[in-house]
Chains A and B, each alone.
Chain A
Amino acid sequence: MNDATTGLVRRTRRRLAGVSPVAGVATVVAAVLLGNAAVQEPGLFIDQAIGGLVYGMILVMLSLGLALVLGLMGVVNFAHGALFMLGGYFTYSAMETFGLPFVAALVVAPIAVGIVGVGMEVVVLRRLYGTTPIIGLLATFGLTLMVEEAARFVWGASGLQPSKPEVLTGGTDLLVTRVGSYRLFTVFVSALSVAVVYYLIKNTDFGLSVRAGVQDGEMTEFVGVNLPLRFTAMFFLGSVIAGLGGALRVVEFGVDPGTAEEFVILAFVVVVIGGVGSLFGSVVAGLLVGWAQFLLPVVLSSLALVTGVAAIEVEGVGRLIPFLVMIAVLLVRPRGLFGEEGLLE
């Protein structure tokens, strides 16, 4: 055995040392099942793999703001869904009431949501830092109810949807499949948002000071950092991203007062799978859930085809899939995929 081979074996052993046997077996089984699906139904497999990637990036957009506020500030922000919903309503009003073009609405609405978020942080959440997470959860749940009822009062109970920009209607041919143009635009904005947020948190003084403040607030303030201002700015950023998610969503699917609750659960699922405190984890989890949601039915139908057991192809399993993924991940790794011990990194 030459040195290169020995090195490779050593590195592989080192990597596998941290992997539980259950995870290893699960990975092998998943690979076999996916391979079977790709062989049995190649066309559908490709369609669903790309569809899952697109949907996964949409989930990333949904959960990014929540991951930021929860991971860095330790606030279990149930109002994330309400901010997301407000992004949709503000975008609708900007476009339909004030006649702004879509691109302008995409800037104005998230900033307006950010301002609402600052109001929430200053009036309510600032008083709750350092308390147990359940207090923040209850407070933000109350805020959610207030925002929902306010939205119902202002915009009514019916669903609202602004017109989609002409250039983003229809589909785009990706050679192997065809995807809605607007969805691709959402993926682009989502990827851009992830990159900007990641840079801000990891590579700027602002991000560093916020992370330092979370770890040791007293010491951080002692060296002259205005921590309340930093936290407010971080909540503003999280709210802007939630608003941006809502703004993107409303044009495709509309918004109604139930939107807040519809998406916040899914966003929490993604953050928990990814691991609280890890932005990278949320990205991976979003993609994982997206792929699972699109590919698991193909895997089951292909398995049913091979084994001849029709019962394997469970119809209507779609809605359960994010939760099944969460259960599976938490069984193997209770902190989530990339989470650190405890609530905060």
Chain B
Amino acid sequence: MMTKTGEWRTTFLSGGGLRRGLGPRTWTAGLALLFAALSTASAQTQGMVRVRKPMGQKATLDGAAFTASAGAGAEFRRTLQEDLDRSGWFMPGAPGRSEYALVGTAGASGADVSAQVQFSQVAQQQLLLSKRYGAPSGDVRRMAHRVADDILAAMGRKGMFSARIVMVGTHSGSKELYVCDADGGNLLQITSDHSISVAPHWGPDGHLIAYTSYVRRYPDVYLINLATRGRQVIANYTGLNTGGAFSPDGQSMALILSKDGHQGLYVRAVSGGAPVRIFDAPRAALASPAWSPDGGQIVFVSDQAGTCRPQLYAITRHGGAPRRLTTSGSQNVAPNWGANGLIAYASLMGRFQVCVLDPSTLASKVISPGDGDYEDPSWAPDGRHIVCSRTVNYRSQIYLLDTLGDAPVALTTSPGDWYSPAITAR
């Protein structure tokens, strides 16, 4: 039997170093600044504990004294362990010689599961979190995700494990929407349209999903309310209706429409009203609008520089002249502007790779490891990880990428293809 300390080891964290070939010494000053910004962004949230780790370095965590009963208690413990490993901030530590310690118990009582969790900084003898949790046994994994996010918040980090992912899956034989937890669990089919679903986007509160569907035979933008289970049409004008990206305040939506005889970028209120055109492309194809975290700008894809040479551009939400953000590479597509201020996107380098761009300096860095096509990145709420699709031999799965160098993790394992993921803001 494995020791409890051994159980806290991780299979995919290989010592916390940066990925080979991308070590600090090879960075230009601009790229180093880019990722210094990323690292401090995730550490600046709270004053309670200041984490002064260089990026990519992990703190030792001793979880040996956390006990769990069989069944739901064990599932809680296993899920929490996987989350904390996957967060990238911890490595297993020996009892008495670790920076952080997690103690407590988890077990089932009747139809419920409960846990007592104490998380502390050992040398400072500081108790950072002491809390009791309870949930129906069926929600044990979600409860563990909440605890993982609470632990990360207690040490001044943002978590991502309470977030949910919407994606397109082909499991049923048609292209339907599915939702799962940030670790790939709790997979739920959302649509049964027997049609084609494209490009789902979350509203900021995690209850609304906008997407493009051919359920009424033309590409139209719909809004699904997961709380009421209703669906309504957002845009079904003549021609192409797509996009459907929510502004960070949830009030506005960016759309790509061709109703005026050519493609344009539009903004309209989610509550209704006519779309307002903010960019006109008489001879170009437009795609993939995404908002800046302050809601003041929209990044989008345009091939105005050449057909099949799509590039990223940013424009204010009220229009004006777009600013080109990418200059190298034949195809730069699928931008997603994180709350950390950085834009994740896919760049064709033989294969598609996920890159991260600082829009103020235009410095960019490849994040994915090159062993497949990595596309459609979506920033996780922790500001460190990116959810994307990975395609190898024409089969696609959803992966979690770490911008600080941990190895990619597969989130979907079910039959069929899974792609176009979007993860909630919280």
Q: Do A and B come together as binding partners? A: no
Q: A residues touching B (Cβ–Cβ < 8 Å)?
A: none
Q: B residues touching A (Cβ–Cβ < 8 Å)?
A: none
